[in-house]
Every structure is written in structure tokens, then in C-alpha cells.
Amino acid sequence: MNFCCLGFVALVFSVKSRDHKFANDLEGARFFARRARIINIVASVLSIVIFLVFIALAAAGVFNLPKTGQQKTFLERGK
């Protein structure tokens, strides 16, 4: 689970950091590496928070999911 494709954005910044490192631009490499690290942390935290919210909502009974024993089959609905 990745929040709004932030992991892909972090990957792009990571690749830019690597390219700047190979070009001997260490300041640019540090800048892009810092951005990639921050975006990865934000994406991880948001993903965990959303997961926990869904778990809390499911535990509170917000989702109306049928129980497996009470669910009617297709043939039983037609009778």
C-alpha cells in the first residue's frame, strides 16, 4: 500500500541523487537524497496511519459486511 504514489516519487529523487553522485555533484546528490528520505518517511507514516484507521473502522463496525454463515447463495435468493 502506497499513499498517493509517494514511493515512486521517492524513487525518482533517489535516482536523481545517484545521477548527481556519478556526476561528482555531491551537494546535489545530498539534496536529492534528503528529499527521497523525507518522502519515503512521509509515505510510510501515511500508509501506516491509513491502515490503522481502516482497522479501527472495521473494529467499530462501520463497514456493513455480511457474515459468512448468514450469506445466501445465488440459488437461495431466487426462491
Q: Is the dihedral of CA 59, 62, 65, 66 positive or negative?
A: positive
What is the total count of domains within the chain? 1
* 53 assigned to some structural domain: yes
Query: Which pLDDT belongs to residue 60?
Result: 85
pLDDT given for residue 17 in this prediction = 97
Evaluate whether residue 33 is within a structural domain.
yes
pLDDT confidence of residue 71: 59
Q: How far apart are CA 33 and CA 14, in angstroms?
A: 6
pLDDT one digit per residue (tens) for the chain, 79 residues: 676 788 899 999 999 999 999 999 999 999 999 999 999 999 999 999 999 999 999 888 887 766 666 656 666 666 5
Looking at the domain assignment, is residue 42 inside a domain?
Answer: yes
Q: What would the grid cell of residue 54 be?
A: 481502516
Enclosing domain of residue 12 = 3-62
Looking at the domain assignment, is residue 8 inside a domain? yes
Residue 38 belongs to some domain of the structure: yes
Q: What's the pTM value of the predicted model, to 2 decimals?
A: 0.71
User: What is the model's pLDDT at position 48?
Assistant: 92
